[in-house]
Amino acid sequence: MSRRFAAWLAVLLGLPGLANGQGLTNPFFVLGNGVQGPAYPTPESQAALLKELGYDGIGPSGVEGVPEMLKAFDDEGLKVYALYVGANVDTDQPKYDPKLKDAIAALKGHGTYVWLYIRSRQHAPSSTGGDRQAVKIVREVAEMAEQAGVKVALYPHVGFYVARVEDAVRIADQVDRPSVGVTFNLCHWLKQDGPTGMDERLQLALPRLFLVTINGADPEGNWDRIIQTLDRGTFDVYGLLKILKRLGYTGPIGLQCYAIPGDKRDNLVRSMQAWKGLSKRLAEEASEN
């Protein structure tokens, strides 16, 4: 039984016990960096592991092997939620990988987001001098995505031209297409802006919010502190999820795992246990109100 169906059934039948087990109905997937590697070298092994542990799918990187990835996850009843790819606004650089068009075409019928980060060496992060070129490129990618029936979610990344969620919203607003939205990345927000103003940024992003990424984190420090398994760190991830639920965000939530040390399977087990605990806590709090 899927989480979404169970939540709907709980409301329909008035079963508080079932509802309490469904505090979070958002699809929960793993970024490719959480499972890809020597221990799980093939899409088939990655899909099998994520299905075993209860995840809904994956968000892989790059334009290679997309049809094989889609098939492996389809075969396990899971989904490729987002394909992480890049663009560059510098006029002396390729706008994007020439294979991107074929990779996007392969997504047709899968509902996968094109997860687009935007770089520049000529323009500083969070500046605006490259906006015209950025908008032009995003529109090109959006046209390819629309032909495949999928959407584009801009991915804010520390040090890139689109570095903050505010940058992503600014570019998406200028692109002005329903198929183009934004991502809120917990780790990149913490790294750049610290732990204040989260509610305001989520409300800013909400009209175009397609994807969210989370992880366990301490609110300050280097990446080893800002990206941890979901059961670790002092940052209030529960508070973030509570805001998302209050705002009515029902879209996918991805687990960021970049450079987390240790066994990948053990890390994913810990994070899934934490996810279930957070979901249960949200459901219990809702039932008390």
pLDDT computed for residue 126 by the predictor: 98
Q: What is the pLDDT of residues 119-137, one digit of tens each?
A: 999 999 999 999 999 999 9
Query: How high does pLDDT run on average in the chain?
Result: 93
pTM to 2 decimals? 0.92
pLDDT computed for residue 5 by the predictor: 44
pLDDT computed for residue 12 by the predictor: 39
Residue-range domains of the chain with CATH: 43-274 (3.20.20.150)
Mean pLDDT over 205-234 rounds to 98
pLDDT computed for residue 22 by the predictor: 59
φ/ψ of residue 70, rounded to 5:
-60, -45
Question: Length of the chain, please?
Answer: 289
Q: What is the pLDDT of residues 51-77, one digit of tens each?
A: 999 999 999 999 999 999 999 999 999
